[in-house]
Amino acid sequence: MSKKKLVILTGAGISAESGLKTFRDSDGLWEGYAIEDVATPAAWRKNPQLVLEFYNYRRKNVLDAEPNAAHFGLAELETDFDVTIITQNIDDLHERAGSTHILHLHGEIFKMRSEKDESLIYEIQGAIQMGDVAEDGAQLRPHIVWFGEAVPKIEEAVPIVQSADLFVVVGTSLVVYPAAGLVNYARRPIPKFIVDKKIPYTSEVYNLTTIEKPATEGVSELKELLKSYL
Ligand code: APR
């Protein structure tokens, strides 16, 4: 028998217990910065130095963080299911936990790109500085989707969700579109689960089970429940 297709949408909440701050749990401030000052095209035009510093700092945070039991738990599900993770996170904790099919909707902190040509993408572990340029001579910027920018990977994500036999959401407030809208593409009859410290609001979702727990504990409970779908 072929494995069932399990599609998992994750957000900042799954990495919270690894010490990475979520976006909306701290008064609209993100590591002390207002989102519009660091994560928009306007911010980049106005003060690229500040934007680089902010992401250089976040890159260092992610390097220092480790995957937690929730990341590992989702990776282990590959033994029994055909798992795809669609993450809004820019960290690499799913990769480091061993998951093998991961789609990063909002970019990746360990990548940078030309500010002119989005197809010129490079790996980066250290810091990006003003004056660092891509092959086309344009300034390098983080390979991150900022507010107000298109989310090209959504085109890939929609058919993945549509083909799911089981759909899971872990640690996202489901307020940022188009990512939040993915929930509506899961076929109506399939079992759906949300794991979150505080279950986010969703409009009618059929066949939904909610697990209101921190991700590490919640994923462990989820794994027990999923056994009945093997
Ligand atoms: N375990 C489980 N869930 C948690 C935990 C935890 N330990 N801590 C927080 N959460 C939940 C919160 O209850 C909330 O529902 O994680 C969610 C975090 O929500 P947001 O901070 O809004 O993060 P996210 O949904 O990933 O944000 C989406 O917004 O800023 C942009 O591009 C950025 O990808 C990001 C997008």
Banded pLDDT at 25 (limits 50, 70, 90): confident
- The Cα 86–Cα 203 span in angstroms is 20
Higher local confidence (pLDDT), 18 or 25: 18
The 3-state DSSP composition of the chain as helix, strand, coil percent (nearest 5) reads 35, 20, 45
How much is the average pLDDT of 140-161?
A: 97
Predicted pLDDT of residue 26: 66
Q: Which two tokens stand for residue 191?
A: 């079992």
What positions carry a catalytic annotation? Answer: 106
Predicted pLDDT of residue 36: 85
DSSP 156: H
Mutate-to-test residue for ligand 1 from 25, 40, 154, 169, highest number of ligand atoms within 8 A of CB: 25
CA atoms within 13 A on the CB side of 85: 29
Ligand 1 in contact with 172 (CB < 6 A)? yes
Ligand 1 in contact with 197 (CB < 6 A)? yes
Predicted pLDDT of residue 177: 94
**Model pTM?**
0.97
Ligand 1 in contact with 107 (CB < 6 A)? no
Banded pLDDT at 28 (limits 50, 70, 90): low
How much is the average pLDDT of 121-129?
A: 98
